[in-house]
Amino acid sequence: MDRIKITGGSTLNGVIPISGAKNAALPLMIASLLTKETLTLENMPLLADVTQLERILGNHGVDFTISGKRKGDTENAGRTVHFTAKEIVDTTAPYELVSRMRASFWVFAPLLARMGECRVSLPGGCAIGTRPVDLLLMALEKLGARIEIENGYVVGTARDGLIGGEIDFDKVTVGGTHTALMAATLARGTSVIRNAAREPEIVDLADCLTKMGAKISGAGSSTIEVEGVTSLSGARHSVMPDRIEAGTYAMAVAMTGGDVLLAGARADSLQAALDVLKQSGATVTETNEGLRVYRNGAGIAPVDVETAPFPAFPTDLQAQFMALMTRAGGTSRIRETIFENRFMHVQELARLGAHIKLEGDTAIVTGSDHLEGAPVMATDLRASVSLVIAALAARGETTINRVYHLDRGFERLEKKLSGCGAQIERISGHG
């Protein structure tokens, strides 16, 4: 098992290229099931979750090819991958594949929309709460699907195809919105999705589906209207830059001090997080190349934060922000309203000397003047990178175990950080 070793105390200076967004790439890949033609996705990140989803799609009959390097490509150029689902050979997504990654459950919608039937295992995946699939299934029932649960599998049928309908989500759901959007593109008639998620990744999917011939209006707002079409074509689409990766590195710079250009990052996709960073003492400026983040000399100020659906502060940056607040000059309160067990990083941050008290859905963080390096354990994707941020500022050496969590969502993390002066290395092997 690989580990990451970090010696803290270095400031970060230089350029960090931002990769294509994992949370956009996965639904875009799944959308390839909606058409017989080739969907070409540019700026694809090289991540464990992407590789796993390629395996799942391959099981349904999707062929994929990766374009070779082009002249002038740097190591940081995202890959271009061509997905072709000419013939769906299997409408079952088995437990052994789906159990490794929750997002793979989303194949349910395009399989049902295109084939009129599907059988998908109930998901496993992340250890951060229940994340039920009921909202997602409710959306498909509103479009005329018949849903049954049999032996741990969800079986969907729509023998005569899906029919446009009204979908009212009682709470904002990104997975549910992705699902409803994909299913509605091939449903007969018009569908209206209310209380839709407004995340930039939803807009990215809608943009891609529109290029494929879908008729969608309102993506990015809380009401999306989709006029169904009989079939979709192939298209070429570039995956949006990863706003969570950009926010993570921005917090690392705020934590260590220094001056870094986050190349390709877009401010409009993470404004709430940038506002919070500025309140904590970092300076953030937009440039033609991306976002420049620096903190030189100024201390870290405590800021209270509450996670909520976009455009508010994202739950996927909560752990990273908590790491930053462990060094603030005062007390901050961080309230997690999206996932119920998303404080698993607290006990590991405490091993580095952080002072954090939990009261229900709120973490009360009292900043200290220093953290001490220690061996720690990654528990999930975002928690693991919060330990990296804390370790960069801790005295001495920190070893982070179970870094396979990091590889699910961060492309070449050690290279990007060491390129800006961090003392970080991956140790391969058991541990």
Share of the chain above pLDDT 90, in %: 85
The DSSP symbol for 300 reads P
- What's the whole-model pTM score? 0.95
pLDDT at 431: 45
Instruction: Find out whether 365 and 328 touch, Cβ atoms under 8 Å.
Output: yes
- Residue among 294, 256, 297, 296 at smallest CA distance from 274: 294
Q: Which DSSP string do the residues of 119-138 spell out, in sequence order?
A: EEEPP---SSS---SHHHHH
The answer to whether 160 is annotated as binding is no
129: pLDDT strictly greater than 60: no
Q: How many residues does the chain have?
A: 431
pLDDT at 342: 83
The answer to whether 134 is annotated as binding is yes
Q: Which residues of 19-29 are buried (b: 16+ CB within 10 A; e: fewer)?
A: bbbbbbbbbbb
User: Rounded mean pLDDT of 75-82?
Assistant: 86
The answer to whether 365 is annotated as binding is no
The answer to whether 168 is annotated as binding is no
Strands 190-194 and 166-168, by their bridges, are parallel
pLDDT at 300: 98
Higher pLDDT, 202 or 133: 202
Q: Is 126 a catalytic residue?
A: yes
Amino acid symbol at 179: T
Instruction: Find out whether 28 and 237 touch, Cβ atoms under 8 Å.
Output: yes
Strands 290-295 and 283-286, by their bridges, are antiparallel
The answer to whether 146 is annotated as binding is no
pLDDT at 132: 64
- Residue among 72, 12, 47 at smallest CA distance from 419: 12
User: What digits encode the pLDDT tens for the residues 332-384?
Assistant: 999 999 987 789 899 999 999 999 999 999 999 999 999 999 999 988 888 89
Instruction: Find out whether 132 and 105 touch, Cβ atoms under 8 Å.
Output: no
Which domains does the chain show, CATH number per domain? 3-19+241-427 (3.65.10.10), 22-238 (3.65.10.10)
Q: Which of 118, 126, 208, 420 is catalytic?
A: 126
